[in-house]
Amino acid sequence: MGAGTQALVFLLQVIFGLMTFIFILRFLMRAMHVDWRLPVVHMVARLTNWACAPLGKLLPVKGRWDWSALVAAFFSQLAYVLLISLISARAYSAGAMGLFALAETLNVLLDTLFWLIIIQVILSWIQPAYNPNLVIFQQLVEPILARFRQFIPPIAGLDLSPIVAIVVIKLAQILLVGPIAAAASTALMGM
């Protein structure tokens, strides 16, 4: 693969990776009941409405689950692997591309949760002044950490729930996403 092709693949990876991330962020914002009046939430909604509004007619929002955003993230990864297939002039099966898109979508979801927790922990240490754009981190992470706090109470005033949540996220990536990604890789390389 030449330098131009590598640059194109990198550019596609960045563009489709960001698109997938934004769709996942929309899904998480809805799932965690983030305040829709926050400026960042408006930006995410504007950036994703072009795909989520039409998909929302097929998959209407049920309670706090915006399945259209998750499906849009999956289609974003599917489009990425299809373009890579065209660039590399390799014909991948629909199943292999679907497995790849599923693995990458789940991986981005779990990575996003991981980094949101890390950012929230750091923000909790520095205690910045109120900023509506930073409140979003607490609103996204708190419902997750609250579930862990039910089983792991603070020890000597130290909240260990972020550590346990991160361990669970990384285990999910290894035990759930890893086998799917391996199957996708085998299917893609076997063609």
Please give the pLDDT value at position 100: 93
Q: Phi and psi for 158 in degrees, rounded to 5?
A: -100, 125
**Dihedral pair phi/psi, residue 34, rounded to 5°:** -70, 145
Total domains, the chain: 1
- Tens of pLDDT, residues 101-141: 999 999 999 999 999 999 998 888 887 667 777 788 889 99
pLDDT digits (tens, 9 = 90+) for 153-175: 888 888 899 999 999 999 999 99
Q: Which band of pLDDT confidence, cut at 50, 70 and 90, is reported for residue 19?
A: very high
Instruction: Give the whole-angstrom CA distance, residue 31 versus residue 24.
Output: 10
Name the residue range of residue 91's domain.
Answer: 3-189
For position 1, what pLDDT does the model report?
A: 66
